[in-house]
Amino acid sequence: MVSSIYDFTLKDINGQDTSLEQYKGKYLLIVNVASKCGFTPQYEGLETLHREFGSQLAVLGFPCNQFRHQEPGDENEIKSFCSLTYQVSFPLFAKVDVNGKETTPLYSFLKQEKPGIMGTQAIKWNFTKFLVSPEGKVLKRYAPNVEPEDIRQDLAKLLKV
């Protein structure tokens, strides 16, 4: 039974099993990402947050192809695009489903812990973001149109910087 975000192990972008327990003690910003989305430029802001708060924050990107097939490539293509286009250095994971019967258990957990507007659990689009405390509590859910710079203000308060 899952009791914490740290109970999850997922495949990273290289196919290696990665336990989220390694991030215990840090804030997490978990984002479903896509390379061909109108919000794709948010990679730049996510990378800025990662670099600025990296000792206290881990940005984790989960590619998803469920929204108008905006992440059509395989893991190698995704990794290459993110590295070459946005110099992404934060951890990326293998493609996941965030909705439907194949929803990865991590996203089932996140949606249950922090439903969207009016209690809906479905992820509405790419670049939905979840902020998780160092203790593993899901603190906040951000809509896709919330820019990483706007999340920076919340992080600055929490991290007291």
Catalytic residue IDs: 37
- Cα separation values, 18 from 10, 30, 110, Å: 5, 14, 18
Alpha-carbon radius of gyration of the chain:
14
* β-bridge partners, 31: 61, 129
Longest dimension (CA), the chain: 41
Which pair of tokens denotes residue 21?
């327990």
How do strand 138-142 and strand 9-11 relate by DSSP bridges? unpaired
